[in-house]
Structure formats: C-alpha cells, structure tokens
Amino acid sequence: MGRILLIGGIGAGKTSIKQMLMNEQVSYQKTQMLDFSHVFIDCPGEYLEIPRFYHVLIDASHQVSEIWALQDATKERSFYPPKFSKVFRKPVIGIITKVDLPKANIKRASSFLNYAGIEEPFYTTSVMNKDGVAPLRMRLRELNELYND
Ligand SMILES: Nc1nc2c(ncn2[C@@H]2O[C@H](COP(=O)(O)OP(=O)(O)OP(=O)(O)O)[C@@H](O)[C@H]2O)c(=O)[nH]1
Ligand SMILES: [Mg+2]
C-alpha cells in the first residue's frame, strides 16, 4: 500500500498539497475529519495541535507506507513535540509549505522539523507558484511503483 498520511497544524497546507498532487482544483475547504482517498489520508490540523488526538494520527499511520509532516514556513511556532516523528513506525518526510509568502522563513521551519526528529533533506513547496511540486510528484510515483498499485 503506497498510501501517505498528511500531518501538520491547522492551515499548514495539507489539503492544498493533496488537491494539487491529485490534479484537483486547489480550493480552500477546512478538513473536519479523517479523509481517506486511494493515495492520501488527510486529517484536520487539530489532530496534531491537540494532544488528546495524537492516537488518531498513530492509528492512521498503520494504514500508510509513509507520513508527510508539513510545516508552514510563515509560522513562528510549531505544534510538533520533540521527537514526535519517532512515535511512528513509518518513514516521516518533512515538507515546508507556503514558501512563496514574504514572511516565509525556511530556516526556522527546518529547525521545527528537526526538533520533531525529522531528518533532512526537506521538501519546500508552494501551491501558489507550483514551487517544489515536481519532486513530490516524483516521490509519489516512486512509492506507487514500490508498492505496485
Ligand atoms: N500562499 C500560499 N498559501 C497556501 C499554500 N498552501 C496552502 N495555502 C493556503 O493556506 C490555507 C490553508 O490551507 P489548507 O490546505 O486548507 O490547510 P490544511 O493543512 O488542510 O488545514 P486544516 O484542514 O485546517 O488542517 C488556504 O487558504 C490555502 O489556500 C501555499 O503554498 N502558499
Ligand atoms: Mg485540510
């Protein structure tokens, strides 16, 4: 199963990245509950921001082959507890979003992902100007070939 779990705070850009990679129109819609598709499991940012929901993320991780952990480049804080990535028994890939915005700070976002125990290199993306989308598409394709679906 080459499925991916998207995690990150509220508004980090999980649903937007999913829409873009699925070639859907990128339009804002708050995620209210776990959302399963063939390729992605998308979830509300609350599941990362509110610790009593962590177990939902951990349960969902059993149904995927890897986890994409998003960090909004414009945010001055992060919701990842130290070494959070280590609670998953799947690879965790770091993705820095919204790099098109003037307030984006890739260095700060990288340090938040490092703090969460995620190893570099990180993907940097923008759904506005399609920055960094090609490498993610490539990763998706490789996962699908690996898991043959
Ligand atoms: N400028 C810019 N805005 C972005 C980018 N990615 C997402 N956004 C905007 O950020 C807002 C939140 O994006 P979502 O994709 O809904 O975020 P989410 O992580 O799914 O949020 P929840 O469902 O609430 O957890 C939307 O208004 C998006 O248009 C980006 O790369 N650049
Ligand atoms: Mg969403």
Question: Residues 3-47: pLDDT tens digits?
Answer: 999 999 999 999 999 999 999 988 999 999 999 999 999 999 999
Helix (H) or strand (E) holding 54: helix 54-61
Number of domains in the chain: 1
pTM over 0.85: yes
Residues 6+ apart with CB under 8 A from 68: 4, 5, 6, 7, 17, 92, 93, 95
User: Six-digit token pair at 119?
Assistant: 């190893």
Domain range enclosing 23? 4-147
Residue 2: what pLDDT? 83
60: pLDDT strictly greater than 80: yes
The token duo for 110 is 């990288």
Supply the CATH number for residue 71's domain: 3.40.50.300
Separation of alpha carbons 96 and 148, rounded Å: 28
112 and 78 Cβ atoms separated by less than 8 Å: yes
Q: What is the pLDDT of residue 148?
A: 65
Those residues with Cβ within 8 angstroms of residue 80's Cβ, 6 or more apart along the chain or in another chain? 48, 69, 71, 112, 113, 115, 116
Interval 109-149: pLDDT, tens = 999 999 999 999 999 999 999 999 999 999 999 998 887 65
CA of 127 to the centre of ligand 1 (A): 9
Q: Whose CA is nearest to atom 1 of ligand 1?
A: 98
Residues with beta carbon inside 6 Å of ligand 1?
Answer: 8, 10-16, 28, 30-31, 44-45, 97-98, 100-101, 126-128
Q: What is the mean pLDDT of residues 54-77?
A: 97
